[in-house]
Chain A
Amino acid sequence: GAGVSQSPRYKVAKRGQDVALRCDPISGHVSLFWYQQALGQGPEFLTYFQNEAQLDKSGLPSDRFFAERPEGSVSTLKIQRTQQEDSAVYLCASSQLGEQFFGPGTRLTVL
């Protein structure tokens, strides 16, 4: 496809469960970003990759959050021991020359 894709689109997890969210960026895009968007809020920056290098992870809220992009393309955001406050939409964006293109997001609900 031409755009950024994310899977799953919806995820319901029990508190304490580990989850993995996948992002397929636009082919050839060097930069990849993860955001967390709570209801009624703007997206909050989590982490940023340039190719396979994670250049900024200052937005990750805790050490339960981990992101990787081992081959510089697909990225996975992993959340360990999920908590209710992790419930949000997780957006992935890839960019080339400044403009960011967002995926549809993964809506995570932690019960």
Chain B
Amino acid sequence: RKEVEQDPGPFNVPEGATVAFNCTYSNSASQSFFWYRQDCRKEPKLLMSVYSSGNEDGRFTAQLNRASQYISLLIRDSKLSDSATYLCVRNRDDKIIFGKGTRLHILP
């Protein structure tokens, strides 16, 4: 298994729907996780950190499942502006590994 794996998508979702995608990781060593968002031809920007206890920020919820070695991102009431690539990021001892990203298209 690659260190960080994501379904590349694209996920085509109607506006207002709920969408969720996962990221699986190998190596169970202590590490932290993040979701970044990257718009086309732009740099990645931090969306949210991921905690075992779950982390919610408005319409976005991130979760870490250490037993099954995956993290998830849930977007509720999706907006057209949510269209982007979502990158799963693992940080272990300042060694940063990005997933290839999941492309999300919100359809009007």
Contact = CB atoms under 8 A, between A and B. Distances in A.
Interface of A: 31, 33, 35, 40-45, 48, 50, 55-56, 91, 98-105
Interface of B: 32, 42-46, 49, 87, 91, 94-101
Nearest to B44: A102
Interface of A is mostly: strand
A56 B43 contact: no
Contact of B94 (A48, A99, A102, A104): A48
Interface of B is mostly: strand
Contacts of A33: 96
Counting chain A CB atoms within 10 Å of each CB, the highest count among B43, B94, B95, B98 belongs to B43
A43 B94 contact: no
B91 A98 contact: yes
